[in-house]
């Protein structure tokens, strides 16, 4: 799994009103690329969205999928849907030939 380059939010710099974002969108995107800090966009004084680097978005999605897969595996184990190592090795040998 990749490590994150994201840095902590700087409240004074990284929270923008949607109107300010509209006016300076290109500059904001360049800043995100440069400093790897997310930017919070507000609308009517309340958080409405967060801008992050595409790589950070991908990392978050990969992590979410990994955690979901682990959860499914744990549920399978609890419900008895497991196979022994010998059983798996036997099936793999039949399908792909012996490794040893």
Asked which of 10-19, 69-78, 80-89 is least confident by mean pLDDT, the reply is: 10-19
pLDDT at 1 over 70: no
Range of the domain at 1: 1-81
Q: pTM for this one? A: 0.67
pLDDT at 3 over 70: no
Q: For position 65, which CATH number holds?
A: 3.40.1620.10
Q: Tell me, yes or no, whether 47 lies in a domain.
A: yes
Give the pLDDT confidence score for residue 99 in this predicted structure.
78
Number of domains in the chain: 1
The residues with which 47 forms a beta bridge, in sequence order, are 42
Band of pLDDT at residue 13, cut at 50, 70 and 90: confident
Q: Tell me, yes or no, whether 70 lies in a domain.
A: yes
Strand 39-43 and strand 15-17: the pairing is: parallel
């Amino acid at each position: 799994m990749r490590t994150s380059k994201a840095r902590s939010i700087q409240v004074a710099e990284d929270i923008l009103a949607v109107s300010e974002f509209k006016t300076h969108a290109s500059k904001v995107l360049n800043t995100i690329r440069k400093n790897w800090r997310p930017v919070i966009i507000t609308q009517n004084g309340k958080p409405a969205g967060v801008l992050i680097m595409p790589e950070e978005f991908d990392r978050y999605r990969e992590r979410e999928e990994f955690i979901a897969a682990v959860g499914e595996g744990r549920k399978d184990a609890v419900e008895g849907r497991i196979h022994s190592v010998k059983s798996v090795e036997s099936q793999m040998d039949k399908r792909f030939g012996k490794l040893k």
